[in-house]
Amino acid sequence: MDDKIGQNLLRELREQVNTLLSADHLLTALVREKGSRRDMDCLAIANQSLYRLMRIIQHLELTQTEDVPFYPQVMDLAALCRRLGQDLELLHAGLKIDFSWKLDRESLVTVADPLLLERALLNLLTNAFQAVGAGGRVGLRMALKEEQILLTVSDNGPGMPLSSREEEDPFLKRPGGLGLGLQVAQQAARLHGGLLTRHEQTGGGLSTVLSLPLRRPSGENLVKSPGIPRDPTGGFSPLMVELSPLLPPEHFLPENIE
C-alpha cells in the first residue's frame, strides 16, 4: 500500500474513533441516568471494541511508517517496570494467568523513550498472555549486565512456531496475535540501538529479551529538557488498550476506565 494512502487511512480511522468516543461519553451519561444493568453491560462491550480499535491504530502507526515518534529523555526504567508489574497484578483475576515480575535493582536511570518502551513491553507481555492462555505463567524481569539493560518476558506457552524456525525472520506471529506487537518491540529496540531476541526455554515456553544499551545521563541530558511530544494515547490507558483483546468486558465498564 502506498505510504500516503496508508497515512490517510490511519487519519480517517483516528477521526472515526474520536467520533465514537464522543458518542460513548454521551451514552455513558444517559445510561447512568436512565439505563439498566443490561444497558451498562452493553456499554462495556462497546467500550472494549473502542479500545481494540485504538490498539490496531497504534500498532499500525508504529509499524507501517519509518517516521516513528521517538523522544528519549532521562527516565528510571525500574520505576516503569515496577508500575507495569503492579498494574498487571491488579488485573490478575481478569487475565486468569499466573503473572510475576522481578527487578534486579530498585532504580535504573537511563536515557530512553519511556512511552515507546512501555508500549514495547506491553506488546511482548500481551503476546505471552495470548500464547499461554488461562492458567499459564508469564514473567517480567529487568536486569543489568555489562552495561546492557535486559528486559525479559518469559512464558510457559507452546514456544516458537515450527514454521518460524525455517524462515529468515524468527519474529512471525504467535498463536492468537497479528504479529504487529513484535514489530512494535523491534522498532523500539532499533531506535534505542538495542536488539530483540527470542529463545526457547528448557522444558517448554519462550523467553523474549529486549536488550538495550545503558545510556547514563550526561550534563547535557540533565540540563536540556526535551520538548513535550504529542500524546499518541488519545486519553486511552496504554495498559487497557494493549490488554483489550484479553480482558473480559466488565473491565471496560465506565467506572473501570475513567
Q: What is the pLDDT confidence band of residue 203, given thresholds at 50, 70 and 90?
A: confident
Residue 230 has pLDDT above 90, yes or no: no
pTM: 0.84
Q: How far apart (Å, rounded) are the C-alpha atoms in residues 91 and 102?
A: 17
Q: What is the mean pLDDT of residues 3-21?
A: 81
Inter-CA distances, 113 with 75, 94, 179, 256, Å:
8, 29, 22, 28
Domain edges within the chain? 3-67+241-257, 73-226
CATH homologous superfamily of 73-226 equals: Histidine kinase-like ATPase, C-terminal domain (3.30.565.10)
Inter-CA distances, 237 with 1, 177, 234, 247, 256, Å:
30, 20, 9, 14, 11
Q: Between residues 225 and 93, which one has the greater pLDDT?
A: 93
Q: What is the mean pLDDT of residues 236-248?
A: 91
CA-nearest of 121, 123, 128 to 103 is 121
Residue 223 has what pLDDT? 43
Residue 108 has what pLDDT? 96
Distance of CA 106 to the CA centre of its chain: 22
pLDDT per residue over 180-189, tens digit each?
678 889 989 9
pLDDT per residue over 119-143, tens digit each?
999 999 999 999 898 899 999 999 9
pLDDT per residue over 154-177, tens digit each?
999 887 765 544 444 444 454 445
